[in-house]
Homo-oligomer: A and B are copies of this chain.
Amino acid sequence: MERIAVGVLGATGMVGQRYIANLENHPWFKVTYVAASPRSAGKTYRGAVENRWLIGADIPASVGDLIVEDANNVEAALGKCKFVFSALEMGKDEIKALEEAYAAKGIPVVSNASANRWTDDVPMLIPEINPDHTDVIYDQQNHHGWDKGFIAVKPNCSLQSYMAPVFALQKAGYPVKRMVVTTMQAVSGAGYPGVSSFDMIDNVVPYIGGEEEKTERECLKILGKVVSGKIQNAETPVVSAHCNRVPVIDGHTACVSLEFDLPEGKKPSLEKIEEVWTAFRGLPQELGLPNAPEHPIIVRHEVNRPQPRRDREADKGMAVTIGRLRKCNVFDIRFVALSHNTKRGAALGGILNAELLKAKGFFDNL
């Protein structure tokens, strides 16, 4: 099979670099187009990120020699790639307008940005959870009069750690009513240069602008239903989030206390919960998508796990690792959940979305 030509918008930023690194040997997709701010335009990719390549040792050779285009120049992408990953870093309104401009020109946009997360006919996908949300894409296209282009997004990285465990429980018949979540988030989530080292050595910052609101709201859309071509948000679980930045490179850890929406006798035992999590599989596993983890949820029994440095790479950085499952004094259960914020939570998560869209035929006939 010939690999599909893809572009990366915002290719020189941290998330853009991760798309490029992660796509290096992708079986379905091949980076043929890179675009960034006018400042980088005209340089080779290698030249544009010189002394600023952040991911491992080396820039993939096949991308290093590509000439960076101005991301604002949508025309330039035509004929050079079939769809684009958006890792744009600009104002929200500019991103929204630009992503729509690409879609309007027939270039689907698989986005990591938050600009279109709350557009109600744009699906916010976690492929194990809501793969059916891609249905709204047709309405999105109708509404805009777009022929082949569309926009699909992924949620904020902070909720990747607990979203799959919660969904797995709900799917097994154990709806969650409310939860208190405290996250300890890695600095890579803030991009580059992101958080100053002066704030992160011998310190914790108990605040990440906008993060708590995102994590509290986005889960309701992800768990929503498609109703007449739009996504109708779920009403539970109610989440109260405390988001903290800690001196960790990669891997968001969440401490979760959770209450079921079930009468006392109907609540699952800890054994049952572990069984549900361990057995959990979704459409990506069924379809065998290239970046689908074999086990979307891994349960560990060591008393002091999961830990970011030890568990973030589990199943290619795409699994959620859970530990310390125990009774909660205040709610029903509590546990610690961890996921890799720049793999599952950013670039690889976006690539998995694209794999789902490809498998469902959304990239046919481009």
**Residues of A in contact with B (beta carbons under 8 Å apart):** 14, 50-51, 53-54, 56-57, 178-180, 182, 184, 187-188, 192-207, 209, 216, 238-240, 242, 244, 246-249, 253, 255, 257, 302-311, 313-314, 321, 323-324, 328-331, 334, 336
Which 5 residue pairs across A and B have the least CB separation, nearest first?
A193-B196, A182-B182, A242-B255, A197-B200, A240-B330
In the assembled complex, the CB of A162 is this many whole angstroms from the nearest CB of chain B, namely 13
Contact of A182 among B51, B53, B255, B305 (CB under 8 A): B255
A51–B301 alpha-carbon span in the complex (Å): 9
Give the chain B neighbours of A304 by CB distance below 8 A. 51, 205-207
Nearest neighbor of A309 in chain B, beta-carbon distance = B203
Give the chain B neighbours of A242 by CB distance below 8 A. 182, 255, 257, 334, 336
A179–B207 alpha-carbon span in the complex (Å): 20
A141–B179 alpha-carbon span in the complex (Å): 47
Say whether B206 contacts A253, CB under 8 Å: yes
Say whether B198 contacts A187, CB under 8 Å: yes
Say whether A255 contacts B249, CB under 8 Å: no
Give the chain B neighbours of A51 by CB distance below 8 A. 302-304
| 9 extra interface residue pairs, beta carbon distance < 8 Å, beyond A192-B196, A240-B257 | A57-B321, A184-B244, A193-B196, A193-B199, A194-B198, A202-B247, A204-B246, A206-B307, A209-B303
In the assembled complex, the CB of A328 is this many whole angstroms from the nearest CB of chain B, namely 5
A196–B304 alpha-carbon span in the complex (Å): 14
Say whether A203 contacts B248, CB under 8 Å: yes
In the assembled complex, the CB of A326 is this many whole angstroms from the nearest CB of chain B, namely 9
Contact of A306 among B206, B246, B249, B331 (CB under 8 A): B206
Nearest neighbor of A337 in chain B, beta-carbon distance = B206
Contact of A196 among B194, B257, B336 (CB under 8 A): B194
Give the chain B neighbours of A238 by CB distance below 8 A. 329-330
